[in-house]
Amino acid sequence: MASEKKTVAMVLAKNFEDIEAIGPLEFLNSHGVDVVTIGVQRGEIEGKKGGRLVADVTFDEVSRDQFDQFDLLLIPGGGSPENLRINDAAVDFTRRFVESGRPVASICHGPQLLISAKVLPGRTTTCVNKIRDDVMNAGAKYVDAPVAVDGNLISSRVPDDLPAFYDAIGVALGIKQTATA
């Protein structure tokens, strides 16, 4: 187990894929990791299937000092990344996080936000097959695998890949020893 308390920034907007946000939130909380949900506005955010989470802060409220408190950025899929990618503050936050070298974990449609942040050229990633061509057109190498890790980028395709996604996140945060294949 890690000796210091970890904090994850989860970026979220309307129409998130419920299990891709709630599952990782529960996994992280069960390992003693704090999760701060960042949204375009404060308050309740509704998922595609009726799940509800609350944005603790907005992108505009996350100062440079607060930015440094996060150990990992989590980008759930569904319609959330498409809604976030049109918000300049969300795109800037994502770009700065990737460039910081700290881990960034995206699943499903999550790479849409990475595409808009222009951080995928030359990187290997996976995603839901519906945006496979989009990540390749953004300069990434697409792999069809449950999880792909390229430096600080961790990615998975769909909810069925969540166990492998959790393992990779756990390794990146130092809360698990090794990832399972």
- The per-residue pLDDT for range 121-157, each reduced to its tens digit, is 999 999 999 999 999 999 999 999 999 999 999 999 9
Please check the confidence at residue 36 and state whether its pLDDT lies above 90.
yes
Report the chain's mean pLDDT, rounded to a whole number. 94
Please check the confidence at residue 178 and state whether its pLDDT lies above 90.
no
Strands (E) located in 23-114: 34-39, 43-46, 52-55, 57-58, 72-75, 104-107
pLDDT value at residue 67 = 81
Strands (E) located in the chain: 7-11, 34-39, 43-46, 52-55, 57-58, 72-75, 104-107, 124-125, 141-142, 147-150, 153-156
Rounded (to 5) percent helix, strand, coil in the chain: 40, 25, 40
Span 72-93, pLDDT tens digits? 999 999 999 999 999 999 999 9
What are 19's two structure tokens?
A: 């299990």
Q: Are 54 and 44 in contact (CB under 8 A)?
A: yes
**Strand, coil or helix: 164:** helix
pLDDT value at residue 176 = 75
Give the DSSP H or E segment for 137: helix 132-137
Instruction: Name the nearest CA neighbour of 115 among 81, 148, 147, 145.
Output: 81
pLDDT value at residue 174 = 95
pLDDT value at residue 1 = 42
Over residues 53-76, the mean pLDDT reads 90
pLDDT value at residue 136 = 98
pLDDT value at residue 181 = 43
pLDDT band at residue 177 under the 50/70/90 scheme: low
Q: Give backbone dihedrals phi and psi of 140, rounded to 5 degrees, phi first.
A: -90, 160
Please check the confidence at residue 179 and state whether its pLDDT lies above 60.
no
**Predicted model pTM:** 0.95
Count of Cβ atoms closer than 10 Å to residue 120 Cβ? 25
Over residues 19-26, the mean pLDDT reads 98
Choices 3.40.50.300, 3.40.50.880, 1.10.238.10, 3.90.1570.10: CATH for 7-173: 3.40.50.880
Domain limits of the chain?
7-173
Please identify every residue annotated as catalytic: 109
Phi-psi sector, 73: left (phi>0), alpha (psi -120 to 50), beta: beta
Please check the confidence at residue 12 and state whether its pLDDT lies above 70.
yes
pLDDT band at residue 4 under the 50/70/90 scheme: confident
pLDDT value at residue 2 = 41
Q: Are 75 and 58 in contact (CB under 8 A)?
A: no
Q: Are 38 and 58 in contact (CB under 8 A)?
A: yes
